[in-house]
Amino acid sequence: MENENGAGFTRVEFGYKHTGNLRFIGLDLRANPELDANGTIEKLKPMLGSLMSEFAAEEISWYCYLEHHNGGEVNVNETGIGGYFFKAGTPVPEGCIYYDLPTVNIGYGVYCGNDDNFDRYTLTRDQILSDGVVIPYPEAYWTADQFMLGEDRFGYIIGVGDIPATAK
């Protein structure tokens, strides 16, 4: 696939998973705009390291940037959190914020290649909708950019409703 600027990429995986209830724990990046992904990971290591082995979500283990509408109107009450997915009820260390995900299923795409200018969100969203899967927008809407550091891959995750048997 290629966009109008010539940036190309390949979707290497797409699918749906039942993750169950999850909690996302991390740092409020809108309150800390000086932090990039690497800086956030380094700052979170001592805060979340001991929780990772016991509480980390098995299905989604990479560092992510999560946004949500917090059940509010579109583009209102959005929060940008850099962090990790954990099992529901995981204790939240001091200095971190959390978001209890209102959905128990995800739709996701994993991409590789030179895709800095391509809207992976749109491609992932359009696939989910064309499969007939509901994205509960805005009442339970959340998305996460998944940074697979050290790999030439980037993931996009969207919380979805029930997954019909006909969905891929």
Query: pLDDT tens, 82-100?
Result: 999 999 999 999 999 999 9
- pLDDT at res. 117: 46
Report the distance separating Cα 40 and Cα 43, nearest Å.
Answer: 5
Nearest-10 Cα torsion for 19, 94, 46, 36: 80
In the chain, what are the domain boundaries? Answer: 10-160
- pLDDT at res. 116: 56
Candidates 3.20.80.10, 3.80.30.20, 3.40.250.10, 3.20.20.150; CATH matching 10-160: 3.20.80.10
pTM: 0.88
Average pLDDT, stretch 3-22? 81
**143: pLDDT strictly greater than 80:** yes
